A and B are shown apart, each in its own frame.
Chain A
Amino acid sequence: MNHRAIRAIYLFEMARTWRTVLQSIVSPVVSTSLYFVVFGAAIGSRISQVEGVSYGTFIVPGLIMLSVLTQSIANASFGIYFPKFTGTIYEILSAPISYFEIVLGYVGAAATKSIILGLIILATAGLFVPLHIHHPVWMLTFLVLTAVTFSLFGFVIGIWADGFEKLQMIPMLVVTPLTFLGGSFYSIDMLPPTWRTVALLNPVVYLISGFRWSFYEIADVSVVVSIGMTLTFLVICLAVIWWIFRTGYRLKN
């Protein structure tokens, strides 16, 4: 395995994060804090409790997931799209490096950034509401799995996109609505039965539910189902990436 190449790509991508620290870290933290102010303090003060926890506390896992999902996709898609856009991808493709190693470098960096961001948001949330994490290991497992899975998804979008519009299209038009409707701000038990059934078609529901369970032991769906769904999506993304590299789709043709 070309460890030095993986390291080079990983550090290159991480260096980009520190160069754009305002956009990469500070901006999502500020917007998440605003969610706490609006939903936690202003609106939340009118809502007594959700399944035994205060509303402000209840939305913490959902807010972290919201940021981790969107940032994983944004980081990974931009990470691979930008070399395609500038043409510097030639160097990656002509280097003695396997597809797996390329993915490891780019997706590893994107996932790292998201995990750091998720932990920063968690710490930020601790300033607004009292937090107690029942299953910290499971919390980290869900965080890492989600960051990796959606970074892989972002990588696929970055390869597929042949313009900045397409790069934004899936995150804006698909992922953000799914995340908002996936129970970030409410329990799907609060929905009428019909809409609850519809909500179960949304994969994000399972991610947020599992993540929230690791915090408060309350979940919309079984934890096993949550992990199963996350792993299924992970495998689908890996399969698509394997196909992309095998065929050279949008890279070598």
Chain B
Amino acid sequence: MSSIISVANLSKTYGSGFKALKNVNLDIKRGEIFALLGPNGAGKTTLISIICGIANPSEGRVLVGGEDIQTSYRKARSLIGLVPQELHTDAFESVWATVSFSRGLFGKQKNPAHIEKVLKDLSLWDKKDNKIITLSGGMKRRVMIAKALSHEPQILFLDEPTAGVDVELRKGMWEVVRTLQQSGVTIILTTHYIEEAEEMADRIGVINKGEIVLVEDKATLMQKLGKKRLTLHLQGKVTTLPESLAHYALDLCDNGATMIYDYDTKGERTGITSLLSDLRTAGIRFNDLDTTQSSLEDIFVDLVRTS
């Protein structure tokens, strides 16, 4: 898959001296959903702002669809739709007027049929004549998505798209994002909801303290870095563990009715066989067992802590 966005040696230092981005290199593949994860202040929004033209870079180069964002900014920007993190709206405009304004701003010919489709897809059609100030937070968020989609972009940036949005609406947005991807739109989303990245993304990038810590296919990432957990449901309650099991770092839960063992799938030996053997020797029996893969959230927290 070819790159639709190519970021090379990008740095940003603010007037205060704060380095928001440090030599960032990143390629976004055409047609993918890329999730950019990072704690608050990691540089996610700064990176997006530079790619979209809202902030000037201090160093480095960004190509969007092969066009330089500075020397060929018109071509580069016309490919991008941006939904920023904050709810920036024209309070006294109607939904229809503000979405149509965005299309005009991007130099596109009037196309009421397209605006109508966007508003219907986002369940905003019956609010088209309402002033934005009268809408709920979730609706305002969808208006911002509608504005970004009004000019038929090839790339959509969603900066924390579901922050403050209820679960049902969030799932509705995921559907919209999936439909957009199917129509060929490349989507870059930043999120605090790890489950969102886990649910949606093809690839995941982690940024921390202005540096890209990792970029990986989601499945590979989870497989490569994922820890697994073995849960043993014991026949009787165990209050203290025998000395012979001390080196397994076991946890007892449910007042000793459940024993938990975390192991690394990357390791040559998982230690499961010897653990089961040692349990039998120690006379500890179990009724059932199950294993679970650690979530992306666990991986993310580990990465940020160590970087």
Contact = CB atoms under 8 A, between A and B. Distances in A.
B90 A5 contact: no
B104 A90 contact: no
B77 A8 contact: no
B109 A86 contact: no
Contacts, number: 74
B52 interface: yes
A93 interface: yes
B89 A96 contact: no
Interface residues of A, number: 25
Nearest to A16: B92
B70 to A, nearest CB: 12
A88 B107 contact: no
Given A91-B147, A94-B82, A253-B15, A86 B89 contact: yes
Given A91-B147, A94-B53, A2 B107 contact: yes
B91 interface: yes
B74 A2 contact: yes
Interface string A1-38: 01111011100100100010000000000000000000
A5 B92 contact: no
Contacts of B15: 253
A70 B157 CA distance: 41
B90 A9 contact: no
B107 A94 contact: no
A9 B75 CA distance: 20
B181 interface: no
B108 interface: yes
A97 interface: yes
A248 B92 contact: no
A248 B12 CA distance: 14
B251 interface: no
Contacts of B147: 91
Interface in B199-229: none
Given A93-B53, A96-B78, A253-B56, A88 B92 contact: no
A97 B76 CA distance: 11
A46 interface: no
Contact of B108 (A4, A90, A92, A98): A4
A97 B84 CA distance: 19
A217 B44 CA distance: 63
Contact of A96 (B14, B84, B107): B107
Contact of A91 (B73, B92, B97, B102): B102
23 contacts: A2-B107, A4-B108, A5-B104, A7-B104, A8-B104, A86-B90, A86-B91, A88-B88, A90-B52, A93-B54, A94-B53, A94-B82, A95-B105, A95-B106, A96-B73, A96-B76, A97-B74, A97-B105, A97-B107, A98-B74, A248-B56, A252-B54, A253-B55
Given A9-B105, A90-B88, A93-B54, 4 more contacts: A86-B90, A87-B84, A94-B77, A253-B15
